[in-house]
Structure 1
Amino acid sequence: MNDISASAYPIGTPGQPWEAAEKARWRALQSKKRSYADEVLARIEALRGAFDVVQYGELDWGADGCYPLFALRSRGWDDALPVALVTGGVHGYETSGVQGALLFAARDAAAYAGRANLLIAPCVSPWAYERIQRWNPLALDPNRNFVAESPCAESAALCAFVQPLRGRIAMHIDLHETTDSDEREFRPALAARDGKPYEPGTIPDGFYLCADSARPAPAFQQAINTAVAAVTHIAPADPDGTIIGSPVVAPGVIEYDYRALGLCAGITDAAYVTTTEVYPDSPRADPAQCNEAQAAAVRAALEFALAHP
């Protein structure tokens, strides 16, 4: 991507929110860069022997194609067991969220048979996954649209799928990344779309968690960071005591109000919820390490939730 952080975004008029024409121009500039079928659906298909594969929706994006939405569900589901929800790819460009969820499913999930019911939605936003984008084709951020009557099809489909289990889910971990492209592309695009001035920020070097301010569960967050620290480094706070502008409440932990912001990790009533943030652009990390960090976070979250019902 071009570095446009210091100049006006190339779509729209500064100070004016985008209308349909600007959104259409933005969409026309997005091109397919990788294959959801090859990188995600093929791996899900390979797991049919270990999971029930459930199609919970399909996105029809016209000339861009149709995208079936799948989740992996524990085989031998037992209503007496707690339910754990793992989501990835809410932002399609955040690769380790998708691949980390699939890594956990393929390698680690069997250890929880008879201990928990697992529900894994590894790629919530497949159109964006293929285009290495944050938004969906309508220039909507799925992770601000997990709300009632959502205008975002990706968010609405997952909400409808999870709704029957909402009160039974004990743990939900949503797998994300913070990348250099947030500052190069996605935050400038957001400012342009909304007709607001772009305010440069910082990108933390390392892994961190975003807890729910309504359900912070500090010991749960600490257990995840402790496990991940064996795989990759935890992000330090900026000199002002913040990470991405939010106060650090514990090492490598910030808080958001999930439901007020329409975030994915706010869609259940689980006592234990968190959003991971891996930094794939660090010189101290590589893609495999980022996937491992996500899988480690899922394991640690599950172990803590099962030990503290």
Structure 2
Amino acid sequence: MAHASPYPIGTPGTPWGGAECAEWLSRQSRQRSYREDVLAPLEQLEGRFEVLEYGQLDYPPESLPLVAVRSLEWRDDLPIALVTGGVHGYETSGVHGALQFLRDRAAGYAGRLNLLVAPCVSPWAYERIHRWNMHAVDPNRSFVTDSPAMESAALMALVAPLQDRVLVHVDLHETTDSDESEFRPALAARDGKPYEPGEIPDGFYLVGDSVDPQPEFQQAVIDAVAKVTHIAPADANGEIIGSPVVGRGVINYPVKQLGLCASLTDAPYRTTTEVYPDSPKATPRQCNDAQVAAICAALDFALAHPRGR
């Protein structure tokens, strides 16, 4: 969906300054509750998992705890499976898919993997159904040294001591119609660049790491998800969101160069899921189920192919 008129904040061709960021912030409003949707379900898991607070998001007048879940019987001799959701707060099935996995499927991996799950990395953005944090910064471009996003920096600090033991990392995302109607136009305006309309793919796809793509791993995840929901086809150019399709429903990005959450570890197996919740062919339940199917397929493949670990 292309915008025929300039984004309503800022001057076309000029990057935002403090005034524009303040105007943008003034337009954001709380639309749902992190405490009700995420923290309350996590409280119900206490006794089955260790629920730990790994940081505090201080955005005056709010202070939101950053919470992760890990295996109750954590064993130093087992590899680690990392699951992250809600790095982009508006991508709902990433959050709820992670919670559903913890509730319904995680127990099946006890004694085989140590699980570390951060279901909602960006709670302020979750509540406002937005991509950015309070400072108009994208957490999923901020997994870098001296990160400009508190959300990203806190998660990096949590995972850093475990780096060498992470076998598989699944980062749960969505691609939505609002990417074209709001978030990409806002990004262009913020950075003082022209907005170039794109095409939203209808269906689920994965983003691998172009440096270490692991095509067999990616296809195993796609095959599992295809039993739950439809896989996005390539467009007329053989691409998905401007990147060449390298396998059914798979594209690759240079994840470390872009500062994506998938670069958080050097795990042998890493993937970023992309669910399309606006498809007339998918329900919210299917979207959550697709995320769970992706997690389980990724963990199962990693366990079957540990690559010497």
> Quick check: TM above 0.5?
yes
Question: Once the two structures are aligned, what percentage of the paired residues are identical?
Answer: 67
| 1:210 maps onto 2:217 in alignment | no
For 1:46, the equivalent position in structure 2 comes to 44
Distance in structure 1 (CA, Å) of the matches to 2:157 and 2:110: 25
Q: Which runs of 5+ in 1 are unaligned?
A: none
Residue of 228, 232, 237 corresponding to 1:231: 228
Amino acid at match of 1:10: P
- Count residues with an aligned counterpart: 306
Aligned pairs for 1:229-308 (under 5 A) are: 229-308=226-305
Q: Deviations over 1:47-72 (max 9, x none)?
A: 11210011000001002x11100100
Contact 2:2-2:197 within 8 A present in 1 as well: no
Distance in structure 1 (CA, Å) of the matches to 2:98 and 2:129: 17
Residue of 179, 183, 188 corresponding to 1:182: 179
Aligned pairs for 1:44-123 (under 5 A) are: 44-63=42-61, 65-123=62-120
Q: Which runs of 5+ in 2 are unaligned?
A: none
For 2:27, the equivalent position in structure 1 comes to 29
**CA drift at 1:4:** 6.8
Contact 1:97-1:175 within 8 A present in 2 as well: yes
Distance in structure 1 (CA, Å) of the matches to 2:294 and 2:85: 12
Distance in structure 2 (CA, Å) of the matches to 1:126 and 1:5: 28
Residue of 114, 135, 138 corresponding to 1:138: 135
Distance in structure 2 (CA, Å) of the matches to 1:82 and 1:60: 33
- The SS at the match of 2:274 is strand
Q: Deviations over 1:151-201 (max 9, x none)?
A: 110000000000000111000000000000000000000000000000000
Amino acid at match of 1:200: P
**CA drift at 1:253:** 0.2
Aligned pairs for 1:165-180 (under 5 A) are: 165-180=162-177
- The SS at the match of 1:268 is coil
- The SS at the match of 1:191 is helix
TM-score (ref. length: structure 1): 0.98
Q: Deviations over 1:77-126 (max 9, x none)?
A: 01111100000000000000000000000000000000100000000000
**CA drift at 1:6:** 2.0
Contact 1:52-1:73 within 8 A present in 2 as well: yes
For 1:11, the equivalent position in structure 2 comes to 9
Distance in structure 1 (CA, Å) of the matches to 2:204 and 2:111: 31
Contact 2:3-2:185 within 8 A present in 1 as well: yes
Distance in structure 2 (CA, Å) of the matches to 1:44 and 1:7: 43
